[in-house]
Amino acid sequence: MREQLDLFPHVAAAYADAAGTLDNATLYKTVAQRAGIAEGELHARVPIGSAGARRSTLTRKIRWVQQTLKQLRVIERVDGERGIWKLTEHAGKDLDRVAAGVKLLAFHTELGVAIWSRHQDVFANLDQPITLCVSSPPYPLRQARAYGNPDEAAYVDFICEALEPVVRHLVPGGSIVLNVSNDIFESRSPARSMYLERLTLALHDRLGLALMDRIPWVNLSKPPGPTYWACVNRVQLTTAYEPILWFTNDPLRVRSDNRRVLEAHTERHRKLMHAGGAQRAAEYGDGAYKLRPDSYGRITEGKIARNVLQRGHACRDTAAYRQHAQALGLPLHGAMQPTSIPDFFIRLLSEPGDLVADLFGGSTKTGLAAERLGRRWIVTEWILQYLRGAAELYRGFPGFHINPALAAVDAGRS
């Protein structure tokens, strides 16, 4: 697999440099020249398969790349011609979902990789220990989003099967953080679905994960909803939060440290600390809370964050992603999370150098936050156009490289 990926830039560049069409014989020769492969090595034949037919392994690898470029809709066969291909004029304005088994290294930096692939084709064979998985899986909506999602009946199995290989590679005390939806209702009813409860129990019972917390992401800028039950029938209140579930495989060794997410003290509290603390004694709640004359007198770096995150959905990275996607003529992701959400959990639950994973990369905010915080990262996403737009957010990071096959998916081919 690695050898095929190494040939990707040479095959893609051969088609990009060709004026018009390119036949396979010329393709082989061009790729060999670009990759520094001797002509004798290119055409060397060895027995292949049970029949022992003699074939060139290098030309087979080049054709593997060629077929992947076809699935990417970067190249297409010339009508009526055998073995002759050309760059496609398709712009990628429709969403291209990766075929099962295909794994394309879309772009990378010195710290991480984004892979165009189905998550199960990557994480099942991963040989790296994972410290943290932060992901926003597709929600179990009745009206599916453009990128696709499972229905509620299949959702618990879908999430458990997706996370199983990640949990298998999770370090002792590693964490799983899932941003899920609260806006799922029983059919024809204003009663909320209990899929979250079923999911929580299944992750514990099937995968052995312990629930550390349910953290509401409060977003007061969310549009009013659920529309039918809150705005039309006036039964429900409008939703202003989404649940974030935090699990670990070992609560007693969990790799969290709330000192990494300390928040700034208020001006009033800073004055209190510098004045030596409280100057009186008092009791509240029948003695449950006691105030001593020296309480709050120790100078601390900040206050411990509470288990409620109040963040709007507006985000500079989202704005930049939209700008890049529109400039490239690509469709926009319909449900983007602000980078501040994965940023918080990456700081809380990992240290620089740890590996952070995201199975449902979307616009790759988890990878972006990990990159900025000095964590290694791996992201998978099955929609080609989302990765193409997201790649632009990583330009300028050390070691950035975009696969030429992915770079070809832009408005210039529309």
pLDDT digit string (tens) for 200-244?
999 999 999 999 999 999 999 887 878 888 888 899 999 999 999
How far apart CA 47 and CA 287 sit, in angstroms, is 84
Q: Are residues 370 and 236 in the same domain?
A: yes
17-21, 29-33, 141-145: which is most confident:
29-33
Q: Answer yes or no: do 297 and 355 share one domain.
A: no
Q: Is 134 found in the same domain as 25?
A: no
Of 5-9, 89-93, 204-208, 343-347, the range with the lowest mean pLDDT is: 89-93
Same domain for 335 and 195:
yes
Q: Same domain, yes or no, for 132 and 199?
A: yes
Beta-carbon contacts of residue 257 (< 8 Å; ≥ 6 apart): 348
What distances in angstroms separate CA 72 from CA 64, 68, 98, 109, one per listed residue?
A: 12, 6, 8, 22
- Domain that residue 33 falls in: 2-87
Q: What is the pLDDT of residue 334?
A: 73
pLDDT at 266: 84
Same domain, 108 and 83: no
Q: What proportions of the chain, in percent to the nearest 5, are helix, strand and coil?
A: 35, 20, 40
CA 290 to chain centre: 46
Note the pLDDT of residue 91. 35
State the Cα–Cα distance between residues 378 and 114, nearest whole angstrom. Answer: 6
Domain end position, chosen among 42, 60, 87: 87
Token readout for 195 is: 């899929």
Return d(Cα 392, Cα 313) in angstroms, integer: 20
Give me the mean pLDDT over the 342-365 stretch.
97
Instruction: Please tell me the predicted confidence (pLDDT) of residue 351.
Output: 98
Q: Which of 55-69, 73-87, 182-196 has the highest mean pLDDT?
A: 182-196
The verdict on residue 92 lying in a domain is: no
Averaged pLDDT for residues 378-390 = 93
Q: What is the mean pLDDT of residues 166-173?
A: 97
**Least confident range of 3-17, 147-161, 203-217, 397-411:** 3-17
* For residue 226, cis peptide bond before it (omega within 30 degrees of 0): yes
Token pair for 388: 């193409």
In a domain, 348, yes or no: yes
Q: What is the mean pLDDT of residues 92-105?
A: 74
State the first-to-last Cα distance of the chain, in angstroms, to the nearest integer: 30
Lowest-confidence region among 71-85, 245-259, 271-285, 393-407: 71-85
Between the CA of residue 2 and those of 101, 105, 346, 409, what are the distances in Å? 14, 10, 30, 23
Question: Is the distance from CB of 230 to CB of 236 less than 8 angstroms?
Answer: yes
Q: Which of 399, 390, 405 lies closest to 114, judged by CA?
A: 390
Calculate the average pLDDT of the chain: 85
Low-confidence winner among 106-115, 304-313, 400-409 (lowest mean pLDDT) = 400-409
275 and 345 part of one domain? no
Q: What is the CATH number of the domain that holds 9?
A: 1.10.10.10
* Residue 173, in any domain of the structure: yes
- pLDDT tens digits along 318-334: 999 999 988 988 888 87
Percent of the chain exceeding pLDDT 90 equals 47
Q: What is the mean pLDDT of residues 191-202?
A: 95
Give the model confidence (pLDDT) of 257-271 as tens digits: 999 999 888 888 788
> Could you give the CA distance from residue 259 to residue 263 in angstroms, rounded to a whole number?
9
Whether residue 73 lies inside any domain: the answer is yes
pLDDT digits (tens, 9 = 90+) for 122-145: 999 898 999 999 999 988 866 555
Write down the pLDDT at residue 119: 93
Same domain, 273 and 323: no
Residues 249-298: tens digit of each pLDDT: 999 999 999 999 998 888 887 887 787 777 787 777 676 777 777 767 67
188 contacts: CB under 8 Å, gap ≥ 6: none
- Residue 292 and residue 120: Cα distance in Å, rounded? 56
Residue 409 has pLDDT above 80, yes or no: no
Asked whether the predicted pLDDT for residue 412 surpasses 50, the reply is no
pLDDT of 316: 95
Q: What is the CATH number of the domain that holds 310?
A: 3.40.50.150
Contact 85, 76 (CB under 8 A): yes
Q: For 240, which DSSP code?
A: -
168, pLDDT greater than 70: yes
CA-CA distance, 402 to 369, in Å (whole number)?
Answer: 19
Per-residue model confidence (pLDDT) at position 35? 78
Same domain, 152 and 108: yes
- Is the predicted pLDDT of residue 311 greater than 90, yes or no? yes
Q: Is residue 97, in this structure, part of any structural domain at all?
A: no
DSSP letters, 70-88, are HHTTSEEEPTT-TTEEEE-
Is the pLDDT assigned to residue 397 strictly greater than 90? yes
The residues, any chain, with a CB within 8 Å of residue 348's CB and separated by 6 or more, are 256, 257, 258, 260, 261, 305
What pLDDT was estimated at residue 411? 45
Residue 215 has a pLDDT of: 98
> Mean per-residue pLDDT for 29-33?
83
Number of structural domains (the chain) is: 3
Residue 9 has pLDDT above 70, yes or no: no
221 and 277 within one domain: no
State whether residue 122 is helix, strand or coil: helix
Least confident piece of the model among 59-68, 182-191, 263-272, 352-361: 59-68
DSSP characters over 188-219: TSSSBP-HHHHHHHHHHHHH-PEEEEEEEEE-
Look at residue 140 and tell me if it is in a domain.
yes
Between strands 75-77 and 84-87, the pairing is antiparallel
Q: What is the pTM of this model?
A: 0.77
> How confident is the model at residue 2, as a pLDDT?
39
